[in-house]
Amino acid sequence: MYFIANWKMFGDSKTLKSLNNVINFVKKNKNKRFKMIYCPPFTLISSMSAKLAKSAVQVGGQNCHHAKNYGAYTGSVNPKMLKDAGAEYVILGHSENRQNGEDDKLINLKVKNSIDEGLNIIFCIGETLKEKKNKKTFSTLSKQLRIGLNKIKNIKKIIIAYEPVWSIGTGIIPNNDDLFNTISFIKKKIKHQSAKVLYGGSVNNKNINELKKIKNLDGFLIGGASQDTKKLIDIIQKTYN
């Protein structure tokens, strides 16, 4: 099972002290074979990587620029720079970035260049509330997968994170049947037996007991709740209880 912590715009050097609890927790629970990945802001990737270096916890970026090489892109960070800072993963296609103008073709270019740099991809897909009401969930996801992963051969480098836009930050999650069927649809679309599909969208320590019942899920992409170490550990513990 994957537990990916997306810190979004949160954290400073003092916040890293909270990772001591995570490091100790992971050491004590090696037998459960779960995988933890922290995706902090760019400013913390290097220091977080150093802090977690001797642990089994890995680090990723939350996004990157599409350019393969350096260039005149003020404020941007490309895959090469993420890798150099210590990142092993990068979140791409998150709905918050899609809403800011990123389209499937741009995301596809980011995926290609990130894989070329040796990064693993956490590839986010999801439908809006309007698309859900119009019964366009599957067609939306199909398009995002088809274009976003166009000509990507190394699927083993890709983790799919299904994040319905209408669920992120709202506290509302899909019902079990809908979620099971959507995850099944995604796995069939990818046509790769080893493909990992996670769920993200208001995952917390209160609804995890319901979410863990979805048998075809391979883990969770956790937003706000991951900023609190106690809540994140609680989510993992409840997943296995």
Q: Which is the catalytic residue, given 94, 117, 127, 131?
A: 94
Please give the DSSP secondary-structure letter assigned to residue 69: S
Query: Can 66 be counted among the known catalytic residues?
Result: no
Cα 19 to its chain centre, rounded Å, is 19
Closest CA to 154 of 91, 111, 216: 111
Beta carbons within 8 Å of 158's beta carbon, 6+ residues apart: 111, 120, 121, 123, 149, 152, 195
Tokens representing 107? 């995301």
125, containing H or E segment: strand 120-125
Sign of torsion over alpha carbons 216, 199, 152, 117: negative
Residues annotated as catalytic are 94, 163
